[in-house]
Amino acid sequence: MRKAKRLLALSIAMISALSFASCGDDDSSSAIAGKDLDSEQVEAINSAVDDVDWGNTELANTEVKWLAHYDINPVDGKVEDPGIRLFKEKYNGKITWVQTDWNSRYTKLASLVSSNDSPDMFPASDMDAFPVGAVQGMFQPIDTYIDVNSEYWKDIKPTLDTFSLGDNHYVAVIENSPNLICLYNKTVIEDNGFEDPAELYDKGEWTWDKMQEMAVDFTNADEEKYAFDGFWWWDAIEQSTGIPLIGMEDGKVVSHLEDASVAEAETLIYDLTKAGVGFPRHLNDWKTRGSNDEGTEGLGQGLTLFIPVGPYEIEDTLANTACCGDVAAGEVMFVPMPSKDGSEPYMPARVEGYCLCSGAKNPEGFAAFMLCKRVANTNGEVKAIGMATLTEEYGWTQEMVDMREECYRLANEKPVFEFYKAVSDEMTTAFNTIVTATSTTNGDAQTWAEVVSANKNGVNYYVEEVNGKIDNATAK
């Protein structure tokens, strides 16, 4: 039983994903304040980390500037991240949000760097910052300020090395996180006579075939019922193979477009598309009923069966997750994406990580904040305080907590990092079409053989181009 494995898994990660926001274009501060940890929690955190070697806790500059399309300080009713609280307690630190929107993030970063007004840190969690940001000189190595071989980083060192060029590490990785889980509403599952995917998973019976069978049975266009919704269901199925379309190996970019396992997954996606199971965004102004951008009303209303999305979708207040269903009543649940044969799956993963911007005014403050984040992530007592947020504030059931632990275990033991958004603008543009070619609902879906034939030469060119730039960067 996989439940037994959960008890042996890595401890549940801190509520790092609570800092994530969906990829919208909101560049304004929330009108609703967040919630700071209470005095008892703060006292417990300080007591738990008494034996940490904090080094010099006197920072010449206690302000760290954070450029992103979302604020990592507590806003919109969310609870303060314990890592941020530690930074306040130990260094009198402050995180200042430099606002931008999703589409303008890199333009603003480039402008600030070139004008000698760099922020200190930038998110790596969107999986589009490395290697392109390092090659283009937007980010600098962290090694001058962080000893990645020290005790606080040794457990995450393999992932740190994935985000490196030569001997230089470009992402301060706090942890591996699930990027795409399969979100569903248990009432919808029961009302349609399906077996709960979480129970199927525990029995080793959560397979591609079972998911496909449920999806086809559920879909009814006349009733506006579509099995899959959201912006990433095709990515989630492809990455369940354990193989990214574009990966990083030994510091170089590699293409897996012609891999046989990828072809199998893309054939499944094509078959699902032809069966009409995907919400027809082309008929709905290319919007979705399965994301925070528009709300997950399809899930809560029984019109959607599965939404592959990040855990952040439901790591939120009950008011903000009501569109998924009644979390506190146990309606909302999630599971890893199925594997082909029911064996232990791979986890489409991301990192909770931070890039140090070129020209950062406070790299020492950045390093101090990263230490606080790692301490909060690796200390069991501090983690427990974070977990209380999920159960006491956000209404999570123990079943959800257990499954979250399992998903984080997989993200650490069997992660799949996809890099197609992080190579070059040209590669991103190409893959915006490639990744949806087998799943487009407008009637123009292509077979994977057609997609590969039309795109492999261009993709190989982009791979060779960026690898040449990596060679040049590491030779300096």
Q: Which two three-digit tokens encode residue 433?
A: 């079409």
Structure tokens at 359: 């020209």
Question: What pLDDT is stored for residue 287 in this prediction?
Answer: 82
Query: What end-to-end distance do the CA atoms of the chain give, in Å?
Result: 51
Q: Domain 2-178+351-413, what architecture? A: 3-Layer(aba) Sandwich (3.40)
Output the pTM of the full model.
0.89
Contact 263, 278 (CB under 8 A): no
Q: Which amino acid is at 232?
A: W
Q: Do domains 2-178+351-413 and 181-347+419-470 have the same CATH topology?
A: yes
CATH 1.10.10.10 fits 181-347+419-470, yes or no: no
What is the structure's pLDDT at 75? Answer: 82
Delimit the domains of the chain by residue range: 2-178+351-413, 181-347+419-470
What angle is formed at CA 349 by the lines to CA 234 and CA 336, rounded to 5 degrees?
65
What's the per-residue H, E or C state across 221-282? Answer: HHHCEEEECCCCHHHHHHHCCCCCCEEEECCEEEECCCCHHHHHHHHHHHHHHHCCCECCHH
Walk along the chain (476 residues) and give the pLDDT tens digit of each residue.
Answer: 433 333 333 233 333 333 333 333 344 444 467 888 888 888 988 888 888 888 888 999 999 999 999 999 988 778 889 999 999 999 999 999 999 999 999 999 999 999 999 999 999 999 999 999 999 999 999 999 999 999 999 999 999 999 999 999 999 999 999 999 999 999 999 999 999 999 999 999 999 999 999 999 999 999 999 999 999 999 999 999 999 999 999 999 999 999 999 999 999 999 999 999 999 988 888 888 865 555 567 899 999 999 999 999 999 989 889 999 999 999 999 999 999 999 999 999 999 999 999 999 999 999 999 999 999 999 988 888 878 889 999 999 999 999 999 999 999 999 999 999 999 999 999 999 999 999 998 889 999 999 999 999 999 999 999 999 999 988 86
pLDDT at 51: 87
455, burial (CB in 10 Å: exposed 0-12, middle 13-18, buried 19+): middle
Q: What is the pLDDT of residues 155-164, one digit of tens each?
A: 999 999 999 9
Return the amino acid letter for 170: Y
* CA atoms of 26 and 23, how far apart (whole Å): 9
Nearest to 304 by CA among 325, 326, 318: 325
